[in-house]
Amino acid sequence: MNCRFMFKLIKQFCLFFALTAITFACQKKFDEFYQRPDTLEQPIYQQLQAKGRFTQFLKLIDKAGYKQTLSAAGYWTIFAPHDSAVTVYLTQNSIANVDAIDSSTARKIVTYSLVYNAFKQERISDYQSNLGWVEGASFRRRTANYTGIYETKNLSGQDIKAIASNRNNSGALYYVDADNNNKYVPVFETAYMSGKSLTAADYNYFYPNSTYAGFNVAHAKVTEKDIAAENGVIHVIDRVITVLPSIDQYIGTNPRYSEFKKLMDKFLVQYVLNQTVSQNYKAIYGTAADVFTKVYNNSLAFSPNNENFLKLQDNDGQSDSYTMFVPENAALLNYINTVLLEHYSSVDALPINVIYDFMNAHMWRTVVWPSKFATTYNSVGEEARFNSATDVVDKQVLSNGVFYGTNKVQEANVFSSVYGKAYLDPKYSIMTSLLNLDLKFQISNIYQKYTMFLISNTAFNAAGYYADATVSNNINEQWRYTPPAGGTQLTGSSALVRLQRILNMHVVPGRDITSLTTAGVAMSNSGEFIKFDNNKVAAAGNYDAGNQATVVNKKTAKNGTVYYIDRILEFSEKIIGKHIETLGTPTTSPYNYFWNYLKASPIFNTTTGEIVQVASGSFYTFFIPSNTAILAAVNAGDLPGTGTAPNKVPKYTGLTLAEREQVDAFIYYHILNKKNIATDGQESGTFETLYKFPNGDPSTIFVNNSTPNSITLNDMKSRSGAVVTASSNQLSTRCTIHLIDNYLRYK
């Protein structure tokens, strides 16, 4: 071996030795850097062992199979009951010792005490929104517990395997694969309670045997908080927390609410084959059994078996929950029999929307705290109408919401208002359908007064109006109008336009007219007036036809009075000029002089009855001076006349241009523009007339209508006049005509 080769070999050996030394040194430094720090706290399981006060809970953890999970890396919050708490639990449940608890029960206790993510008290009441932390907005945390597949019976009574919906039914989506529908545990911490203006009384309403201490979990009190562990945070509690049922589970296992459950099962539940879960179940267990998802109808505010709240954000279940008020069997049956079935033979005969409305009246898509009944609104915008002290007989905070068992029902607006009188009677289905298109939510508001005139299907048909599904594919336009006296038949939207105008004439907003025995007038929702007297009712079209509707029944609702009448109130097909002609043509009529001035004026079309500036379809009020008042105007020079004052008489023809303008201005000043007023005592004020000054400014009249059956007027010269009530309230097409005892001056 020559020297050159020997040198090269020695050089390579030295290089290998140096690299090996460097590698060992680096590995040592790497291990030292990443090795578990001496200051790091032990994992949850070891922490509980070291403290020596959790021996019984540790046995439950072992039985549950969670020792490894809580001894390894992770990010958990655990609410750990100390030994004394477990002993109390064993005594209360007549269990000899922890060893007597089976693994399934142990697993439920442990997983429901185990919350995803690590939360110290300072964060436990903060909401993890999509946009970041929202302080003091959370009172619930998602746990490791879930129900999974369970045994039940389908609607035919057959044994099946089922799984709960994990989404509220949107009509297309009600279950999402890989979502276990984990349960939530309630946490009552100072920041949330203060932020929501809640007190210990709200907490103790649900947990009367517990003490609120500013940090409670369900009925347990946190006695030691924020114990740091390698894999999370430990909070020590003085009670064992057992798994809370969902609202669906609670109702299903409590016989006090069996009648409510029957309603849900019969009309609102179906079991739908879940292909994915079925396949996985068969593969794991080697069985042929299918698994079905229990699906609630998508017309409900929420699915009572969905643990995920709304899922509009991933964690929105932290900040809110459902609430359900459920009447006990006796209260429910009494309401069904006396209210819902007043005009139906059985629940099966009810329109399905009645069931939907009844259920949704008892469902809140938010938590209703005991002190907030009056200010928290359900899915249809109604507050909780219960006395928390006397009407609630069962109160529970459950895994997906708050539950109140009650000794009365939530009296929904749609049933207790004037709307309910039509809605719950099949003989009035046409009127109900029309109300649903336009007025349902207005007239079902029990805090606003209404008078309603109810029209039966028979009365609508007699007037030529029919519901007819053959005329349109649009359910809202399935109407037909066949004029009883002959004429052009209308269908679809053309018939609907007439029906909507008629419907609005049968509703009087803002007034509960409790008697129709004495004469009166009322503005309907259409803006047109109706008149009544001696239990007879009429609109302008009824007077044209020479008929009136007769009251055949009367009922009281929470927000007004309903009158059942034997024929429809009809709008007039005539324009107001023709009505004035009818009123004024008789020479003995107090309207005669005004009519003669009008018909002679170029602003009036004697053929059609149209008046220039009086637009078809708009609202007007005509204050027509009496013959005596017209004579006074003639003799004062405010209208053309012949002869010598004070014995001048009206001059209708052969007028000069100035006289014609004088007549037209006089007429226009006695017409309120876009305003329909009658002697109902409802509306007063200064209103514009059709007369405009040469500079374009409108003229006005002050109308004092503060007392029923009495209207006084003041013109722009501070002169006054009064409506002659006995000869007034003449109804026309969106207009009303009054006789007044003085004429009005604008100059």
pLDDT in tens, 681-715: 999 999 999 999 999 999 999 999 999 999 999 99
pLDDT (0 to 100) of residue 40: 77
pLDDT at residue 653, rounded to an integer: 95
Residue 389 CA to chain centroid, in angstroms? 26
Q: Which residues pair with residue 217 across a beta bridge?
A: 187, 220
Tell me: the pLDDT tens digits for 662-685? 999 999 999 999 999 999 999 999
* CATH 2.30.180.10 is held by the domain 44-143+214-242: yes
Of 374, 505, 527, 507, give the one whose Cα is nearest residue 440. Answer: 507
Q: Is 415-565's fold the same as 576-740's?
A: yes
Q: How far is CA 19 from CA 9, 10, 16, 128, 673, in A?
A: 16, 14, 5, 51, 104
Average pLDDT over residues 220-224: 98
Q: Where are the chain's structural domains?
A: 44-143+214-242, 415-565, 576-740
- State yes or no: pLDDT of 200 exceeds 50: yes
Tokens of 615: 């637009």
pLDDT value at position 747? 83
How deeply is 500 buried, as exposed, middle or buried, from its count of CB atoms within 10 A (0-12, 13-18, 19+)? middle
Tokens standing for residue 378: 């359900």
- Of residues 28 and 173, more confidence is placed in 173
Backbone angles phi, psi at 652, to 5 degrees: -105, -30
Residue 285 has pLDDT above 50, yes or no: yes
DSSP string, 568-617: -----SS-HHHHHHHHH-STT-TTHHHHHHHHHSTTB-TTT--BTT--TT
Q: At what angle do helices 493-505 and 429-438 cross, to 10 degrees?
A: 90
Cα separation, 573 vs 431, in Å, equals 22
Q: Is the pLDDT of residue 21 over 60?
A: no
Q: Is pLDDT above 50 for 16?
A: no
Confidence of residue 29 (pLDDT cuts 50, 70, 90): low
- Can you say how many angstroms the Cα of residue 708 is from the centroid of all Cα atoms in its chain? 36
For residue 15, name the pLDDT band (cuts at 50, 70, 90): very low
415-565 fold: FAS1 domain (2.30.180)
CA–CA separation, 206 and 219 (whole Å): 8
Q: Are 17 and 10 in contact (CB under 8 A)?
A: no
Q: Are 127 and 315 in contact (CB under 8 A)?
A: yes
Stronger pLDDT, 24 or 478, i.e. the higher one: 478
pLDDT at 367 over 60: yes
Quick check: helix, strand or coil at residue 621? strand
> Over the stretch 474-501, which tens digit does the pLDDT of each residue have?
999 999 999 999 999 999 999 999 999 9
* pLDDT value of residue 582: 97
CATH 2.30.180.10 fits 576-740, yes or no: yes
Q: Beta strand 322-327 with 401-406: parallel, antiparallel or unpaired?
A: parallel
In sequence order, what are the residues at sequence separation of 6 or more whose Cβ sits closer than 8 angstroms to the Cβ of residue 559?
417, 418, 443, 445, 446, 447, 448, 449, 450, 512
Using a 10 angstrom Cβ sphere, with 0-12 exposed, 13-18 middle and 19 or more buried, the burial of residue 117 is middle
To the nearest whole percent, how much of the chain has pLDDT over 70? 95
pLDDT in the model for residue 20: 47
0.85 exceeded by the pTM?
yes
Does residue 120 surpass a pLDDT of 60? yes
Q: What is the mean pLDDT of residues 347-363?
A: 97
Give the separation between CA 713 and CA 629, rounded to whole angstroms.
14
Cα three-residue angle 429-430-435, rounded to 5 degrees? 95
Binned at pLDDT 50, 70 and 90, residue 342 comes out as: very high
Q: In this structure, how many other beta carbons lie within 10 angstroms of the beta carbon of residue 493?
A: 14
Mean pLDDT of the chain: 94
Q: Which residues contact 511 (CB under 8 A, 6 or more apart)?
A: 449, 450, 451, 522, 560, 680, 682
Q: Where are the alpha helices (DSSP H) in 535-574?
A: 540-545
pLDDT band at 38; cut points 50, 70, 90: low
Is a pLDDT exceeding 80 seen at residue 401? Answer: yes
Q: Which two tokens stand for residue 201?
A: 């009384």
What stretches of 224-289 show up as alpha helix (H) in DSSP? 247-253, 258-267, 275-285
What integer is the mean pLDDT of 389-408?
98
The percentage of the chain sitting over the pLDDT mark of 90, rounded to a whole number, equals 94
